[in-house]
Amino acid sequence: MNYSDLADEKSGFEDFLASCEHAKKVSLLATVDGLLQWDEQTMLPAAAGDFRAEQAARLAAITHAQRTQKAQGERLEKLAESSLATNGPEVVQATIRLLHEDFQKQSRVPGKLVEEIARTSIEAQQEWVAAVEASEWEKMVGHLKKMFSLKRELAACQSPELDPYDALMDDYEPGARWRSVDSTFSKLRKALAPLVRGCFESTKGPQDRALRGVFPLQAQQVFVRQIIEKIGFQFERGRLDTTAHPFCSTLGPNDCRLTTRWDEKFLPTALYSVLHEAGHGLYEQGLPVDWFGLPPGEATSLGIHESQSRLWENLVGRSPDFWEWCYPLARKAFPESFNEVTSDQLAEAVRSVEPNFIRVEADEVTYNLHVMMRFDLEREIIHENLAVADLPDAWNERFEADFGRRPPTAREGVLQDIHWPAGLIGYFPTYTLGNIFSAQIMDAARQAGVGLGEQIRAGDFAPLLHWLHQHIHASGRTLKSEALVEKVSGKSVSEKYLVESLYRRYGPLHGLSADPAESLV
Amino acid sequence: MNYSDLADEKSGFEDFLASCEHAKKVSLLATVDGLLQWDEQTMLPAAAGDFRAEQAARLAAITHAQRTQKAQGERLEKLAESSLATNGPEVVQATIRLLHEDFQKQSRVPGKLVEEIARTSIEAQQEWVAAVEASEWEKMVGHLKKMFSLKRELAACQSPELDPYDALMDDYEPGARWRSVDSTFSKLRKALAPLVRGCFESTKGPQDRALRGVFPLQAQQVFVRQIIEKIGFQFERGRLDTTAHPFCSTLGPNDCRLTTRWDEKFLPTALYSVLHEAGHGLYEQGLPVDWFGLPPGEATSLGIHESQSRLWENLVGRSPDFWEWCYPLARKAFPESFNEVTSDQLAEAVRSVEPNFIRVEADEVTYNLHVMMRFDLEREIIHENLAVADLPDAWNERFEADFGRRPPTAREGVLQDIHWPAGLIGYFPTYTLGNIFSAQIMDAARQAGVGLGEQIRAGDFAPLLHWLHQHIHASGRTLKSEALVEKVSGKSVSEKYLVESLYRRYGPLHGLSADPAESLV
């Protein structure tokens, strides 16, 4: 059911439509804030950071005031008690419930705190760029102390009934609770341990040498744009720009902006970050446009979002089928580097596994270890079992325990991610949840006959994208992530699909069994 | 006197500071609107125009509501009656007077109208891009009818005591009145007529052939950035991007964004539009940072703004002295095109004169004819002596009368400027006022020993820029344009400095006398 159909109804929906129109007006401001953030990370002159922080803080204060406007609260109270909330069309019921829940949660947060978080976030992100460049933890420690303390305050305000880490995680993955996430992660960790160890120890595994060479910036730009356009990203409704820490940002129903970084000597840096962000972008471009600014037009959760990005990046983009299709394009774009390399060699090279200090450059097999470590560290800080000042040591120790080596610099360690300076605390676990969801969703897709090898080899991505539009994108935020994955797969959410997928795709290549059970023995 | 010094004062300035803080908060929102506009013209995906119009309209409504907040009005009333307004420091007196005037003017405009103008402006600008591309007047006519009608309504609201065209012009050139502008323009027109005719008829004048060749985009980008950086544009406080209709936009005290378009076969397109916009940028970067968001930190008027852009573009940038300095850089950047051309040939080529359909590509001598024509046409529409639907004919007739030829397409005629779709009505005359001011200001500068040939030949632009900072930029909006020019030059404002400058620089080159009096005989 379209929003515009409801708006055409003559009666019975007046209060509902008034609430929705208010929410849509607020979302206009939220997207303007999105532009401030996007611009800050792609375009902003070096000296303009302080003023941008003031702009963002001001806009955040105004947006918060409008979002928590009394009249809207009263209307939503009334609606939540009305028959529409229990007997209306399903999408109307869900919208009322979610707008009401959002309103209650946001109304408990003082505007001053919202403003302060917005200001601190921009200031800390600006400083982060300088801190990474200089590899100086000291530049960040004050900003991070402030940010963690502000977010703890936020958690206590908005969801006082929840554990503070759960309260934060709930903003990104509605309904997720850390004990349950922790239990899933532990199982995943245990199941992956033999594969990780096996890959590290294997001398048979492929190296990424085939992907190193000369990749001129302009040729890369043309190449990656071509790839994601063929996959289905609509450039008339989006962009691709350069940044320090790749992200995807939605500034309107027809304005989805991807960003990446480039390495002229190593193709995967841009190729896989663009495939990843384009996966996010395909989700955003697939959400119901008509419901933009309202829950049915919003993403289910960041875990589901990540499932889409990882699906295109890894399950499609690192497959031999993909490289069979992509190889002629890559060879044409980079003749100098790929003239003597085969498609199979490239497909293997993109699945090399080795300890990497940098999460966003990590391979699929070890990636989740990076995430689990951040999940544990940030939770310990929020639970006040770890001090921000002790983060570098805690980071290095944990990294050494997991990967057998210590980051030589802060830049390759605790400083590498923008999330903490940006205030994205409770966000990291959604990356591994996304990996788990992606494997289970891809399994369901293949059972439905889409995303199959022969389609991908032929560059025919439309069936898979269409299926994702129908089964994942169309429901917006009206379902929670686990319910959605269960609905689409017909099975309980489990890490086992991810484990199987990784063993199947990485085991034999690295001289190991494809069967987790055999490796576990 | 710095704003921060006042803020440090312990007493007597409380109301003043409260008013200023409110005005600065409003200016934060105005700069966010600036970002929406800049982004719309440089970055926005093709399909995102409608939503951008909604964002801009929403923000305009909020900004207007905050700008005309009752408490601020009461505070300003009180301040205007206080002893500070008559006996305070000069900058405080001026700030009170201007904030109070602005407030009264803006309070008379309904928020709905502000919102409607903002929405229409973005919609019309989006459509303008398509209309120009297709060269279809029909695409624009409805938008322009609406815009002219909205601006007439605005004029009647904000300054009911003024002639409606004066009311609009007042937003861009405070205090300017059309009868007086018209009289100055008539004198200028008459004085330039023999020069224009002589240049058109002269067969001795230089051609721009020396400036045609191969100018690869990337080399141009490096070259123009280098030039404006040497002149004094601070890239850590600004940017340079690509757009359809070049402009300069200030999004914060350290965020001044220039834009240009490029022609890979003709260097002046980018070089002179960038020098022009950088002239605006040097002014913006030279305004008192401490007063940002308040009248002493704002530009005097658009005429003064244009005087700065035209000074750097024409009086500096088209001089043989400039080319003597610039020549080795140009030759290094474009060896293929400039290997057999001398510095003198280039300096002459940039002063070729010929009828051009496009204002922004017009030479200095004929440029003002383009402006006067727009000044007359838009005024006739506002005065309801001309219908928007009749604009194309009126345009073509007038153009033929002035230039002896008719624009073959709407793209080369009535559709060429973004101003009317953007709602910038009453803005055009500031271009010629700027030319008039620039010649008089440059005259004063040279008498003060800056901007001299030997400095420019040596690439030593700092003395001129420093002098402009001190004598033009530093006073912000606290003086009106005529008062400022009179103060800096010690003489009444007159078109004669421009006339003399044009005859001196273009006469002999085109086989005419350098003396206006002789040519007039």
- Delimit the domains of chain A by residue range: 3-161, 178-520
* Angstroms from A345 CA to nearest CA on chain B: 35
Instruction: Using CA coordinates, name the residue in chain B closest to A293.
Output: B51
**Do A255 and B52 make contact, defined as CB atoms within 8 angstroms?**
yes
| B13 Cβ contact partners less than 8 Å away, ≥ 6 residues apart | B6, B7, B84, B92
CB contact under 8 A, B255 and A28: no
Nearest to A294 by CA among A479, A24, A7: A24
- Give the CA distances from residue B405 to residues B356, B367, B389, B399, B408, in Å, rounded to whole numbers and listed in that order: 9, 16, 22, 7, 9
Q: Which residues 6+ apart lie within 8 Å of B393 measured at CB? A: none
Tell me if A255 and B45 make a contact (CB, 8 A cut-off): yes
Facing residues of A442 across strands?
Answer: none
| Whole-angstrom distance, CA of residue B195 vs CA of residue A111 | 64
Task: Give the closest residue to B450 by CA, choosing from B436, B437, B462.
Answer: B462
Q: What gap in Å lies between CA A453 and CA B17, rounded to an integer?
A: 68
Interatomic CA distance for residues B159 and B108, integer angstroms? 8
Per residue in A399-433, pLDDT (tens digit) is 999 999 999 999 999 999 999 999 999 999 999 99
The verdict on a CB contact (< 8 Å) between A45 and B235 is yes
What's the confidence (pLDDT) of residue A520?
57
Q: Return the pLDDT at A8.
A: 76
Dist CA B441 CA B430 (whole Å): 15
Residue among B115, B127, B277, B324 flagged as catalytic? B277
Residue B12 banded pLDDT, cuts 50, 70, 90: confident
Mean pLDDT taken over chain A? 95
Cβ–Cβ under 8 Å, residues A485 and A493 = yes
Closest chain A CA to residue B289: A51
CB contact under 8 A, B43 and A237: no
**A503 and A519 Cβ atoms separated by less than 8 Å:** yes
What gap in Å lies between CA B154 and CA A131, rounded to an integer? 49
Which of B109, B280, B257, B292 is closest to A55 using CA atoms?
Answer: B292
Place of tokens 């820490």: A245
DSSP run (H or E) holding A256: strand A255-260
- 8 Å CB contact of B54 and A28: yes
Cβ of A237 and B54 within 8 Å?
Answer: no
Residue B85: other Cβ atoms inside 10 A? 19
List A115, A173, A277, A313, catalytic entry: A277
Tokens standing for residue B487: 């103060």
CB count in 10 Å sphere of residue A207? 12
| Distance set, CA A142 to CA A52, A146, A203 (Å) | 20, 6, 44
The mean per-residue pLDDT over the stretch A15-39 comes to 97
Give how far B60 is from chain A: nearest CA, Å.
11
Torsion sign, CA atoms A147, A148, A149, A155: positive
Out of A28, A50, A252, name the one closest to residue B58 (CB): A28
Is B29 within 8 Å of A59 when comparing Cβ atoms? yes
User: Considering CB atoms only, which of A25, A239, A252 is closest to B52?
Assistant: A252
Distance from C-alpha of B375 to C-alpha of B330, rounded to nearest angstrom = 37
The mean predicted confidence, pLDDT, of chain B is 95
Element (H, E) at A258: strand A255-260
Rounded to whole angstroms, how far apart are CA atoms B108 and A446? 64
Q: What is the pLDDT of residues A239-272, one digit of tens each?
A: 999 998 899 999 999 999 999 999 999 999 999 9
Rounded to two decimals, the ipTM of the complex is: 0.93
What pLDDT does B202 receive?
Answer: 85
User: Is B345 part of the contact surface with chain A (CB cutoff 8 Å)?
Assistant: no
C-beta atoms of A254 and B48 within 8 A: yes
Element (H, E) at B259: strand B256-260
**Does residue A395 carry a pLDDT above 60?**
yes
Hey, is B232 helix, strand or coil? coil
Whether residue A29 and residue B59 make contact (CB cut-off 8 A), yes or no, is yes
DSSP string, A402-458: HHSS--SSSTTTTTS-SHHHHT-TT-THHHHHHHHHHHHHHHHHHHTT-S-HHHHHT
Q: How many angstroms separate the CA atoms of A435 and A184, rounded?
A: 12
Give pLDDT tens digits for B370-380: 999 999 999 99
- The model's pTM is 0.93
Q: So what's the pLDDT on residue A361? A: 87
Q: Which two structure tokens, joined as six digits, stand for A400?
A: 């050494």
Which residues from A are below 8 Å from B51, CB to CB?
A: 31, 252-255
Query: For A166-184, how does the pLDDT look when each residue is reduced to its tens digit (9 = 90+)?
Result: 999 999 999 999 999 999 9
Amino acid at A39: D
Average pLDDT over residues A310-335: 97
Strand, helix or coil for residue A50:
helix
Measure A237 CA to nearest chain B CA, in Å: 5
Domain with residues B178-520, CATH architecture: Orthogonal Bundle (1.10)
Q: For residues A339 and A331, is the Cβ–Cβ distance under 8 A?
A: yes
What would the two tokens of residue B223 be? 């070259």
Averaged pLDDT, B322-332: 96
Residues 6+ apart with CB under 8 A from A423: A117, A120, A121, A124, A147, A150, A151
What local confidence, expressed as pLDDT, does residue B121 receive?
Answer: 94
Please determine, for residue A346, whether its predicted confidence score (pLDDT) is greater than 60: yes
Please confirm, yes or no, whether A90 is among the known catalytic residues: no
Stretch 38-97 of chain A: residues touching chain B, C-beta under 8 Å:
39, 43-48, 50-52, 54-55, 58-59, 62
Residue A203, pLDDT score: 78
Residues of A in contact with B238 (CB under 8 A): 45
Predicted confidence at residue B521, as pLDDT, reads 47
DSSP 8-state symbol, B477: T
CA distance B124 to chain A (A): 18
Separation of alpha carbons A289 and B1, rounded Å? 53
Residue B213 has pLDDT above 90, yes or no: yes
Task: For CA atoms B447, B450, B456, B458, give the dihedral sign.
Answer: positive
Residue B401: CA count within 13 A, CB half-sphere: 9
Q: Dmax of chain A from CA atoms?
A: 71
d(CA A338, CA A330): 8
Would you call B255 helix, strand, or coil by DSSP?
coil
Q: How would you classify the pairing of strands A248-252 and A255-260?
A: antiparallel
Q: Do A79 and A22 touch, CB atoms closer than 8 A?
A: no
> What tokens does A116 get?
């302060």
Interface size, chain A vs chain B, as Cβ–Cβ contacts under 8 Å: 98
Which CA distances in Å does B18 have to B5, B14, B66, B73, B83? 15, 6, 14, 12, 17
Residue A164 CA to residue A157 CA, distance in Å, equals: 10
Nearest to B239 among A35, A43, A253 (CB): A43
Determine the Cα–Cα distance for residues A482 and A493; give it in Å rounded to an integer.
6
**Angle between the B302-310 and B268-286 helix axes, to the nearest 10 degrees?**
130
Q: How confident is the model at residue A521 (pLDDT cuts 50, 70, 90)?
A: very low
User: Nearest CA of chain B to the CA of A250: how many Å?
Assistant: 11
Tell me the CA distances in angstroms from A438 to A230, A250, A315, A486, B330, one per residue in order. 21, 21, 8, 12, 54
Q: Secondary structure of A207-253 in the HEC alphabet?
A: CCHHHECCCCHHHHHHHHHHHHHHHCCCHHHEEEEECCCCCEEEEEC
Task: Write b or e for each residue in A439-450: b if 16 or more Cβ atoms lie within 10 A of its Cβ, otherwise e.
Answer: bbbbbbbeeeeb
Question: Any residues with CB less than 8 A from the CB of B445 and at least 6 apart, and which?
Answer: B451, B464, B467, B468
Distance from the Cα of B177 to chain A's closest Cα (Å) equals: 36
Residue A389 confidence (pLDDT) above 90: yes
B269-288 pLDDT, tens digit per residue, is 999 999 999 999 999 999 99
Helices (H), B82-177: 84-87, 90-107, 111-134, 137-158, 164-169
Residue type at position A168: L
